[in-house]
Chain A
Amino acid sequence: MQLTVGPNQFFWDTERWAALYDELATAPVDRVVLGELVCSKRLPFFQDRIPQAISTLAEAGKTVVLTSLALVTLKRERKLTAALPEMGVEVEVNDLTTLAYLPEGTPFSVGPLVNVYNESTLAWLAGRGATRICLPPELPLASVRILAAAGADLGVAIEVWGHGRVPLAISGRCYHARMHGRTKDNCQFACEDDPDGLDVRTMDDQPFLAMNGVQTLSDSYVSCVHQTQALADAGVAALRLSPQSTGFAKICGLYRQLLVGTGDATSVAAAICGMDENTRLSDGFLTGARGVDWSGTA
């Protein structure tokens, strides 16, 4: 199986953003998806650095892919979306609007925020030129198996969410701004202080979600360490790892060890948790009763 790095979901300062891709050039990953997924207002801060990141990664032998926004509503956002295919790299569609701007026959990949729940949808996207689809994270293993088989028949590589705080919702409203008593249009970039999202706790002070501007993520870091073998057996082509602010290259290394058999699931999970005592893992979407559940012991 391959390792794909998903687009950074958070708002980092430009230097930290660029440093991630410098670091990934030497990390044991195969594909890197970059660009702005969550909020179009963040893009101007690192837009100019994208070409450099692309060439650094490409020179290091990585396949580089550019993501679309997750939710396109404004005129400015539609223009940005229209410009994506002109960047000269493969595009990852995370909002179907992008399809309207991809010239017929252009191969593309589909990200986890497009609803691909069944064979018909997969087949339709394949017919439009999809060559790789990262499945929605809430899909259970039973569906993944069926879709991986359908993908194999159609020549579409199937990817599954492997690691990271998982995107649960996207909104027109910015919750970071709202919390600071501002509107989205006058957000003053309230999300930049939380490089892994802001922890959201229940009334019993239980960690539950993470706030990231217009996006809501899980508190727990989804990790498929215990399902990796089952996913490989199902014919899944790649695991998707989602960037986090600390130790991300090390995490990529741990998953690579798992894939090549030099690390086992329990020790990889322990190593991930050992990097930060506040890391909680989950894998319930794949095999549990609910997403937040974790099949490991830690």
Chain B
Amino acid sequence: MPQSSPTIPKFPALPAVAMRALPLAPLSISMTAYARRVAKSHPGLFRRLGVHDHARFVLDPTDLPFVICLEPNGGTPRVQVMRGPGEGAARIAGPLAALLGLVHGAFDGDALFFSRDLVIEGDTAAALALRNAVDDAELDLSQEIAAMSGPLAAPIKRLIGFAERRTGVSLTRPEEVGAW
């Protein structure tokens, strides 16, 4: 059996169970606000989606009891956090840490896919477009969230902070060490 590459931390089961009681509506609203913020600061991300910029994506952190449905909606994104499998053109499933690592450019999507840490279902082209667009955007969740203020930021900050502490995955874009 091939080794998992790189080692992806799993979200611990106990807190994941506790999260089942988490109210999802505020999280959906907050994440929509967050996604719109990203849309504003990274318009290129949505341009890169090309013909897939109205597709509905299901992001499924397999170690958490909910899925995140993302609709880029041509640059005015909507996010819905829900229990159950969710419905969309493409589904990208994997441990939360893998999904976050992809966003930060800490992991390579193909490598995660080859090792089956990441599963893609449905419209593979849409999923690829999203992955490539996100990879180019060089997002830094911590920075984006720190810049958010008001009550909408609180639920995300709590979730991300929690994830960071429990999984040990850095949610800040790793510095590129280069031969400068």
| A/B contact in complex, CB under 8 angstroms | no
